[in-house]
Structure 1
Amino acid sequence: MPLSLLPHSVSKPVEKAYTKVFRPPNLRLRFGSLSTPNFYVVVALLTFSAYIIFSGIFYDIINSPPSMGQERDPMTGLVYPVVVHRGGISSQFVLEGFSAGFFYVLAGASFIMIASTNSIVQIVGLVSFVLSYAILSVFMRTKMGDYPF
């Protein structure tokens, strides 16, 4: 039972006896002070961590997929590289995850740019949102053949 929960008449003698038996060390420790980190450093770290998480790094670590795949052209018989894993909604190549994560973060950053007061930044945000939406839709159409959007 902590001493603070004991009645005052009991806790003072117990505390006095405790300090007579066990003498606490007289240490003068100096702890460094933490300063507030720069705002832009925090935003950059949060954006980078969102990029890593959206890229599917946990899937990549657990399943260790190849960075790219390859398909054979049925007409010519030539083998060509592919970045998007076709037909596998629950699987991905490493480059597919990193590029999709980039466009997810770009879409999120475009919302911040659209909320700006500068009209040039708003236009850049709108263009980047439309671009990221279109490319992510192409990814989904490639992965699922009948993706409607």
Structure 2
Amino acid sequence: MQLLPEGFNYPSPMLVFTFVMLSYFIVTAGIAYDIINEPPAVGGVPDPVTGRIKPQAFMPYRINGQYIMEGLCGGMFYTLGGVGLVLLAQAQERGRDKMTRGLCRALGAALSIISFATCMSFIRIKMPGYMR
């Protein structure tokens, strides 16, 4: 019994990985929220000294709301953290040479740590009293 039609080939693993990471970015960036609620790209807050409006990328104290740029930044760093974890997993393969494994380890650890630190700073902007 043949499961695939004639002439059909499975997609390459890298293509599948690309689609999975793209869908992960779309979900974590809140694209559906942005389409449904149509928030502004960035906000504005008046400067107490000059009275001028300063751009504001994050909506502080609002857990259930976001600006478009806030969602895209958060989604990008979540995705970079995921790529870092994938690189750390790739560094464990025995078939790779030593230099490639070391590069995967270093880059994966750096991406994971940078992503974690940035996402924690985003959380502290959204919820100033959280985990203190």
Q: TM-score, normalised by structure 1?
A: 0.74
Aligned AA for 1:138? S
Q: Secondary structure at the match of 1:80?
A: strand
> Could you say what the CA RMSD is over the residues aligned between the two structures, in angstroms?
1.5
Tell whether 2:57 aligns with 1:57: no
Which digits, 9 at most, give the CA deviation of each residue in 1:25-81, with x for residues without a partner? xxxxxx764211122111111110110011111111111111110111112212111
Q: In the comparison of the two structures, how many residue pairs are matched? A: 119
Q: Secondary structure at the match of 1:66?
A: coil
Matches within 5 A, 1:1-149: 33-115=7-89, 116-117=91-92, 118-148=101-131
Aligned AA for 1:75? V
The 4+ residue runs of structure 1 with deviation greater than 4 A are none
RCO higher in structure (CA 8 A, sep ≥6):
2
Q: Highest Rg: 1 or 2?
A: 1
Aligned AA for 1:61? I
Question: Which runs of 5 or more residues in structure 1 are unaligned?
Answer: 1-30
Q: Secondary structure at the match of 2:63?
A: coil
Q: Secondary structure at the match of 2:45?
A: strand
Q: Residue 21 of structure 1 corresponds to which residue in structure 2?
A: none
Aligned AA for 1:43? F
Residues of 1 paired with 2:6 and 2:72: CA distance?
38
Identity %, equivalent residues: 31
